[in-house]
């Protein structure tokens, strides 16, 4: 296995800490398909409580939690709307269409930032048998491909109030909602209150090896439980994984502020040597997207050059490179990334 001075490819790469492994080893377990795993139940109740929802359901992945949420709200042939960079439309491999017969339309966005005019320009209701009916608006917070963008709660509230009047549901892809909460100070319950269903991931910045949770009403979760089994996501003595999630919720949420500060420090260093590659003010959480084209480089050139310094990054476009901070990148790793990026960007 390759080792790096800083592995900034993704926040999904973290390894369980010794304390997390201990919590996993100690976990009380049962068969969760029969609803008999006490640790899974404890995790579901904890997440439902944090998000201010009645109930929650443990899922193997964020993609499955999202897809369960989408299908609860959208009947086959109806549509969901999301922004053009949303994970549910770009990175879940067409699951909404393939599994649930959902059609999608997207609104344009800058850095994934929610402008209520975007969804509201698309939402179409009461059009009888002539046009596709919109059943769901999806919001992603923070926004992954947008560069860790935090969605303003005022914009979310505005969309919520317009969609409520139209009878259109809202789903939050909150894979990194923890980061949004820590960066903005808006409570998880306040975010949660604006949505019919919310998915959150334990396996990204929080550092658990596996696991996501979908939250919603008791009825919605009962239906989601059936679909989870149908999708092959009914897991058995999975309390050992839920224990990692509970441990992460206890110990790894507030520390996300460290990831955010390190990402901002890196962005400031890049902007200093290569203006135009990134605006540090837009680095709100743990993700930096660099426009290395502004420094005369292709994304592939930058990625290769940083790799020579032991720093792994990810090309997300011909001139765009993404770097993600997480539990396993400390100040020394950040220093290594800063030094490498300064050298490569100023040499170009
Ligand atoms: C915003 C967002 N939603 C959902 C997911 C899906 O999570 P998973 O990889 O666990 O399916 C990801 C994964 O990176 C993500 O970034």
Q: pLDDT tens across 166-214, in order?
A: 999 999 999 999 999 999 999 999 999 999 999 999 999 999 999 999 9
pLDDT score of 1: 64
Give the global pTM: 0.97
Residue minimizing CA distance to atom 5 of ligand 1:
62
Q: Among 171, 247, 170, which Cα is nearest to 203's?
A: 247
State the distance from the centre of ligand 1 to the C-alpha of 86, rounded, in angstroms: 10
State the distance from the centre of ligand 1 to the C-alpha of 319, rounded, in angstroms: 23
pLDDT score of 128: 83
Report whether residue 201 contacts ligand 1, using a CB cutoff of 6 Å.
yes
Average pLDDT for 118-126? 97
Taking the CA of residue 176 as reference, the ligand 1 atom at the shortest distance is 1
Taking the CA of residue 203 as reference, the ligand 1 atom at the shortest distance is 10
In sequence order, the 6+-apart residues with CB closer than 8 A to the CB of 214 are 56, 57, 59, 65, 68, 69, 197, 198, 199, 221, 224
Question: Is the pLDDT assigned to residue 348 strictly greater than 90?
Answer: no
Torsion sign, CA atoms 154, 201, 321, 284 = positive
Taking the CA of residue 12 as reference, the ligand 1 atom at the shortest distance is 14
In order of 86, 110, 207, 308, 340, the CA distances from 264 in angstroms are 23, 19, 20, 23, 16
Q: pLDDT tens across 253-303, in order?
A: 999 999 999 999 999 999 999 999 999 999 999 999 999 999 999 999 999
Rounded distance between C-alpha atoms, residue 61 and residue 175, angstroms? 10
Rounded distance between C-alpha atoms, residue 318 and residue 199, angstroms? 31
State the distance from the centre of ligand 1 to the C-alpha of 23, rounded, in angstroms: 24
Rounded percentage of the chain residues whose pLDDT exceeds 90: 98
């Amino acid at each position: 296995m390759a080792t790096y001075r800083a592995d900034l490819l993704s926040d999904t790469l973290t390894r369980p800490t010794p304390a997390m492994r201990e919590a996993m080893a100690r976990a009380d377990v049962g068969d969760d398909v029969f609803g008999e795993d006490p640790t899974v139940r404890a995790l579901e109740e904890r997440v439902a409580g944090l998000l201010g929802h009645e109930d929650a359901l443990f899922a193997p992945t964020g993609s499955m939690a999202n897809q369960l949420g989408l299908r609860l709200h959208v009947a086959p042939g109806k549509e969901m709307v999301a922004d053009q960079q949303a994970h549910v439309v770009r990175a879940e491999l067409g699951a909404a269409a393939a599994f649930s017969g959902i059609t999608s339309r997207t609104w344009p966005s800058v850095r994934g930032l929610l402008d209520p005019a975007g969804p509201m320009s698309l939402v179409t209701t009461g059009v009888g048998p002539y046009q596709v009916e919109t059943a769901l608006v999806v919001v992603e917070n923070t926004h992954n491909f947008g560069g860790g963008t935090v969605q303003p709660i005022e914009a979310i509230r505005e969309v919520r109030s317009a969609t409520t009047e139209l009878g259109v549901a809202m789903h939050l892809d909150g894979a990194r909602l923890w980061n949004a909460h820590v960066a903005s100070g808006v409570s998880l319950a306040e975010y949660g209150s604006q949505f019919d269903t919310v998915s959150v991931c334990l396996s990204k910045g929080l550092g658990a090896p596996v696991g996501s949770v979908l939250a919603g009403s008791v009825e919605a979760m009962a239906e989601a439980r059936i679909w989870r089994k149908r999708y092959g996501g009914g897991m058995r003595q999975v309390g050992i994984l839920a224990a990692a999630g509970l441990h992460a919720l206890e110990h790894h949420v507030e520390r996300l502020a460290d990831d955010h500060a390190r990402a901002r420090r890196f962005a400031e260093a890049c902007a200093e040597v290569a203006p135009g590659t990134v605006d540090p003010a837009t680095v709100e959480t743990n993700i930096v997207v660099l426009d290395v084209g502004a420094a005369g480089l292709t994304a592939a050139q930058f990625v290769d050059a940083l790799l020579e310094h032991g720093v792994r990054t990810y090309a997300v476009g011909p001139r765009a490179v993404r770097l993600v901070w997480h539990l396993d990148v400390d100040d020394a790793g950040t220093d290594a990334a800063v030094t490498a990026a300064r050298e490569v960007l100023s040499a170009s």
